[in-house]
Amino acid sequence: MNAPAAAKVRVSREHARELMRQMVLIRRFEAKCAELYGQEKIRGFLHLYDGEEANAVGVMQALTPDDAIVATYREHGHALARGLPLTAVMAEMYGKATGCSHGHGGSMHLFDAAHRFYGGNAIVGGGLPLAVGLALADKLQGRARVTCCIFGDGAVAEGEFHESMNLAALWKLPVLFVCENNLYAMGTALERSESVTDLCRHAASYGIAAEVVDGMNVVDVEAAARRAAEAVRAGGGPRFLENRTYRFRAHSMFDAELYRDKAEVEAWKRRGPIVRFREWALASGTLHPDDLDAIEAEVAVAIDAAVAFAEQSPWEPVESLLRDVYAPAAAAVAAEPAAPDAAMGRRRLSYRDAVREALREALRRDARVFLMGEDVGRYGGSYACSKGLLAEFGEERIRDTPLCESGFVGAGIGAALGGMHPIVEVMTINFSLLALDQIVNNAATLRHMSGGQVALPLVIRMATGAGRQLAAQHSHSLEAWYAHVPGIRAVAPATVADARGMLRAALAEPNPVVMFEHATLYNDEDELPLAAPEVDIDHAAIRRPGRDVSLITYGGSLKKALAAAEVLAGQGIDAEVIDLRTLRPLDLPTLLGSVRRTHRAVIVDEGWRTGSLAGEIAAQLAEQAFYDLDAPVARVCSAEVPIPYPRHLERAATPQVEDIVAAAHRVLRR
């Protein structure tokens, strides 16, 4: 560190001592973690921060306790510089119950909601949309706070980087993006992975003010971070810092480090942040040798104490394994009281009208609710479910997004972290695959990986299903994919009443809910009471009682199952029809109760048979009601083919009434 660089900011003796203490603490912490890894006390992936300390320490000087941090998987330095207790961080490295994430996160997922430290993220670039959402929550609630998002140069190649840059710039969000450019994404040099190695140019292309910073100079980093944070806090929109730095150790403890030579590493070490700051501080008289010795001694004592704390801390008991998968259910939301005459009245609504009515009610009831997605505003929604809401609630709460599913779904997750209640509309289920990373790796896991520190009140709506001659890419029924994942709830309203009531109930959930609306249902109509009744999304519904066979289904197949039951009734067969409603968690008591009455089951599922939700239900019935069954469970699923375009082939590929009737006869003949 040279004098001119240091002269850019006045560094008092006290401040210099604190900067040095934090950098030394991070360096010694990492060295101890490497030692403990060799002793097999820390396991999994371990990504060390040696050489990059100036970035974490300098950036954190610019942030207030109210600001938020979203970090990458190499986040030990960020956590310590933010002020997370050393003991809690070390215990988390061990996986102990006293860790900052209660042992659920480990090295890559340090989390502390009290410090507004929203975790490291093991998915490269995965935290960028979360930061956008946290900043959006602050903007919507009028809070003058900054969200700082820290990531490596490798993330710049990810689509989520570009989607997040665009959203932050488009909506002028208070995000400070900090790219720690250490020249290597794992083992691939930046010059081999990026056609443009000046990373600031990527940010500038989105209209974001960007600055290159010497990431080996803690004072330069602090000065740049303060300038950027002040601009963000003043309403200037996002800022981007490219901190050019270097990691002295391998990518992780598994890395043989064959991609760079030792001479390169040694050259960088000679200009490392601690070396440079020490030389400047001593040469300028800001610090004395005794100060440095005292810092080393103080840090050594603290790290020894942290190791002792971690060693003595308890493991979380196995009995609590499932504890933090879901947040406890909130109290039921009572319906708006209706006048006596209104309560008795009814009106005819379509399925889409019912969805729109539930959206309108939620937006009126709770200022934290907003709707976000492609074409939900001026277009009125791809299925017209949000038509008219923009005029009533405005652009802040009916928020059109670019075509960037991962970006805006991730932003919805971040907004839920920030205290909002987002409703995110994904146009169709096939488009949701572009956001699968955010749904599975963030929405479903953040509560558990944080040790239960957060709730995620988020509803993700999407149209699903075949039947409209849209061919393979717009006819998916992938509900089983989402029903497979713990940490989210999956629901499928099959009736007009449920389209209104289940969305209302989903918004009362403190957990992420994925709602599947079968596209063939939007024009269905029914008479509903003016006063919206409560809908229980925890239980399946018996839509038709019966004694001879149970027809179990959900979503768009319910109408077909009911029609099949009518055909069977004309043949003297009394079929019971069960509407699952909730796909995760399944209401097994209702299913088992039905099978114990009828002793036969046919499961109707528009998904493909292999790996289907129908297969899961059949397995559950075989495991728990085997001796109540008088015949094997039958499944009526889509054919093992991408859904064809011609109507006759589409019909042949998907479950039809005659298929259900035939399956019922098969199980009755056994």
Decide: 104 and 118 in contact? Cβ < 8 Å. Answer: no
405 catalytic residue (yes or no): yes
The H or E element spanning position 547 is none
Helices marked H in 39-140: 53-60, 76-82, 86-94, 128-140
Q: Which of 421, 376, 424, 367 is nearest to 398 (CA)?
A: 376
CA gap 488, 514 in Å, rounded: 7
Active site residue 266: no
What does the DSSP 8-state code read for residue 236?
Answer: -
Indicate the pairing of strand 346-350 with strand 239-244. Answer: unpaired
Question: Which of 405, 479, 517, 606 is an active site residue?
Answer: 405
* SS3 category, 170: helix
Q: Please pick, among 78, 104, 474, 476, the residue that the annotation labels catalytic.
A: 474
**Residue 133 backbone phi and psi in degrees, to 5:** -65, -40
Give the span between the Cα atoms of 107 and 300, in whole angstroms.
21
> How far, in Å, CA of 153 to CA of 548, rounded?
63
Which value, in Å, is the radius of gyration of the alpha carbons in the chain? 28
The packing angle between helices 218-233 and 13-38, to 10°, is: 110
Instruction: Pull the structure tokens for residue 457.
Output: 């009140």
Q: How many residues does the chain have?
A: 670
CA distance 164 to 129: 5
CA distance 664 to 189: 61
**406 touches 438 (CB < 8 A):** yes
Catalytic residues: 405, 474
